[in-house]
Amino acid sequence: MRARTATTLAVLTALTLTVPALTVSPALAAPASAPSWTADLTAPAGFVGMSPTCVLDTRTDNTPFHNGFTPLGPREYYPAVVGVVPHEATAVVVNVTATNPTSAGYLSVRGESTPQTGTPDTSSLTFTPGQTVSNLVTVALSQDNVRHTVNIFNSAGTTDVILDVVGYYAPGAADKFTPLHPNRIADSRTDGTGPLGSSATRSIRVARPELGDQDAHAVVLNVTATDGTADSFLTVYPTGTTRPSEASNVTVPVRRDVANRVVVPVGADGKIDIYNHIGSVNVIVDIVGYYSPSGTGLFQALKTPVRLDDTRTTGYKMTGPTTMGLGIEVDPKGLGAELNITATNADAAGHLTVFPGTADWNVPGTSTLSYVPGLTVANSVTTGLDDNSTTFSMDSFGGAVDVITALTGYYTTG
């Protein structure tokens, strides 16, 4: 994402608890019974991490197959070229950002083999007018196309879209996934480091003996920004490398918690750097997994994401722990899952935590997604599965909230 100018930042709206509730969009409508999805998977593949690379920014002329300097229109499908990944890639990991939206709506980022007609059954991120919001999305790729693309659907109004590629999956790639029980490895509110200031960078050790990830080539994090004093953004990148000037990972609003999943290569010293653009902000970092030559998890992406659960259909909001399943027995043994979780209709502020195991034990002191009344918030999630290879757990802390959970892929033992 290009560095924001003062003019761009001026249009961002500070988020408060009084923002009107979003109208439920077609993408968030309850689906019919979930279809069988076992035949809708890409081939098992290892991971290749990249420094964030911007492949689309509709605010500039970097928009192949779309008029430059023109936002996406209502109900528009846009095929974004992701030419920085090789032809053999089975899935791409992208950080998608919506900015300058003119109405409430959502983006759905879908694989290139999905139809570019109708309304998608799932959404990737939601937004309100004037808001800038990001989410990390894993998208299946087809082997039929010479030049890979991902399809971006905009539900309503107009919005600019920025797409940063942070990695991809390919058969034969050396790095495989290892899930971790979520672990908080940095919290500037309590660890003595204090808020991250304007144009400041802070290094955090992510490869640690106590985590068993000393050989990690890339890590999977949940990064939360809180107490921001200005509309800003965070960029996460490996130490010892040049900070990507046209990429961001977490959009920082004033005085509201916001989280985003981050997949980032690890520097040679076992650390990552986090950069804050303007103002000051507290940063919380939770690690949930890593990729390394010693890992065993190969990823299979769903060509069409599948809705697993929607509490709005039951009439009971989430108020505490629950255990959820993938709906099938994964063979070979499942290690983890990739999800997109949306929180809406919150009665009061709170947060969700997703973790492996059953909901009645070993709940980690970490967070996955923060929510407030009046906003619909989405975040992608990487989680391990429990020993029977099909289930994970979720817990809510704070106000009762509706939760929509979609499956985008899973990891099997390779």
Residue 389's pLDDT is 65
Distance (Å, rounded) from C-alpha 363 to C-alpha 323?
A: 12
Alpha-carbon torsion angle 117, 123, 128, 131, nearest 10: -110
| CB-based burial, 325-349: b 16+ in 10 Å, e otherwise | ebeeebeeebbbbbbbbbbbbbeeb
Residue 61 tokens, joined: 């002329």
pLDDT, mean of each 10-residue run, the chain (414 residues): 29 27 36 50 94 90 79 94 92 96 95 79 91 94 81 96 95 96 97 96 97 97 97 95 88 93 97 97 98 96 90 91 78 85 96 86 89 94 83 93 94 88
Question: What would the DSSP string read from start to end of 265-284?
Answer: EPPTTSEEEEEE-SS-BEEE
Alpha-carbon torsion angle 119, 124, 128, 130, nearest 10: -110
Distance (Å, rounded) from C-alpha 349 to C-alpha 396?
A: 10
Residue 1 tokens, joined: 């994402």
Q: Could you tell me how far CA 188 lies from the centroid of its own chain?
A: 22
Residue 138's pLDDT is 96
Q: Which residues contact 93 (CB under 8 A, 6 or more apart)?
A: 136, 137, 138, 139, 165, 166, 167, 168, 169, 263
> Could you give the 3-state DSSP secondary structure of residue 251?
strand
Distance (Å, rounded) from C-alpha 50 to C-alpha 264?
A: 7
Distance (Å, rounded) from C-alpha 305 to C-alpha 113?
A: 12
Distance (Å, rounded) from C-alpha 356 to C-alpha 48?
A: 24
Distance (Å, rounded) from C-alpha 100 to C-alpha 57?
A: 12
Residue 361's pLDDT is 67
